[in-house]
């Protein structure tokens, strides 16, 4: 890799975001209200948006929901600012096809730093294959629009937070939340491909990591997921707590989730 391969827009954005996050602890920007907004939005962003919406529902189609609910969950996922749904899901499907092979864009064999976040600071060749992995999503005009304009929901949220509590709410609810959500998501690419237990021979380096599951709402049971990527339940062993699974079960009881796939059949 050389300087011509660097993705400067992503690199500069990440540097600026992490520097801004430090401002949250300055007296003029700290507030308990901001902290509470950060925690609530972290939960909505990751649990509703990324783990339930982007990942288990749309990437793997491990269950079905009404179209309005699917779109709501996917819109929550855009608040994570990890690109739009088509790009995120395309790259994720690409990862599953080539997990820990040389053309896996966050191949853990290249080290912790690379798999955690280094890969995104450079041009990602896998982006050229996103269209091939997302034919289903490209038929939905809303997802196409959201993929091109994923910043808009974030801006709207920022305006709402500013009106409610000024820059303190914006820094905690947007900046700090994004930094924490980024690193939580990235641990799935790094820590759970390096540290933990392998219950199954999944053909890659994926591992089950309990501590990671706590702050990623069950995504840390990653070896299980790579063995059964179509399963809505990642914590498939009795002691493996999976918060996202509880959400899917609740949706099922409310009649809002059907065809819920688990190892052994439909639930």
pLDDT in tens, 195-248: 999 999 999 999 999 999 999 999 999 999 999 999 999 999 999 999 999 999
Residue 19 belongs to domain spanning: 3-266
Give how many domains the chain has, as a whole number.
1
Q: Residue 194 in contact with residue 223, Cβ under 8 Å?
A: no
- Give Cα separations from 79 to 18, 51, 200 (angstroms): 17, 13, 33
pLDDT for residue 266 is more than 90:
no
pLDDT for residue 267 is more than 70:
no
Q: Residue 258 in contact with residue 234, Cβ under 8 Å?
A: no
Instruction: Convert the pLDDT of each residue in 67-86 to its tens digit.
Output: 999 999 999 999 999 999 99
Looking up tokens 């912790």, which residue turns up? 112
pLDDT of res. 179: 98
């Amino acid at each position: 890799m050389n300087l011509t391969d660097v993705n400067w827009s992503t690199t500069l954005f990440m540097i600026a975001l992490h520097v801004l996050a430090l401002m949250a602890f300055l007296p003029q920007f700290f507030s308990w209200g901001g902290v509470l907004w950060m925690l609530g939005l972290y939960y909505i962003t990751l649990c509703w948006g990324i783990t339930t919406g982007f990942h288990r529902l749309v990437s793997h189609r491990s269950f079905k929901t009404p179209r309005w609910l699917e779109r709501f969950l996917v819109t929550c996922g855009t608040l994570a600012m990890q690109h739009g749904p088509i790009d995120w899901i395309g790259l994720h499907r690409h990862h599953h096809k080539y997990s820990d092979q040389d053309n896996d864009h966050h191949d853990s064999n290249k080290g912790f730093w690379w798999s955690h976040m280094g890969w995104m600071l450079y041009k990602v060749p896998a982006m050229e294959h996103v269209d091939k992995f997302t034919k289903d999503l490209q038929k939905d005009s809303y997802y196409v629009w959201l993929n091109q304009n994923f910043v808009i929901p974030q801006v709207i949220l920022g305006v709402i937070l500013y009106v409610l509590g000024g820059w303190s709410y914006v820094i905690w609810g947007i900046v700090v939340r994004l930094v924490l959500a980024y690193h939580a998501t990235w641990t799935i690419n790094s820590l759970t491909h390096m540290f933990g237990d392998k219950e199954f021979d999944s053909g890659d380096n994926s591992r089950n990591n309990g501590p990671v599951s706590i702050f990623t709402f069950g995504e840390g049971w990653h070896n299980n997921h790579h063995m059964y990527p179509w399963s809505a339940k990642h914590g498939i062993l009795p002691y493996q707590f999976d918060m996202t699974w509880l959400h899917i079960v609740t949706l099922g009881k409310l009649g809002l989730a059907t065809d819920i796939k688990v190892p052994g059949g439909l639930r």
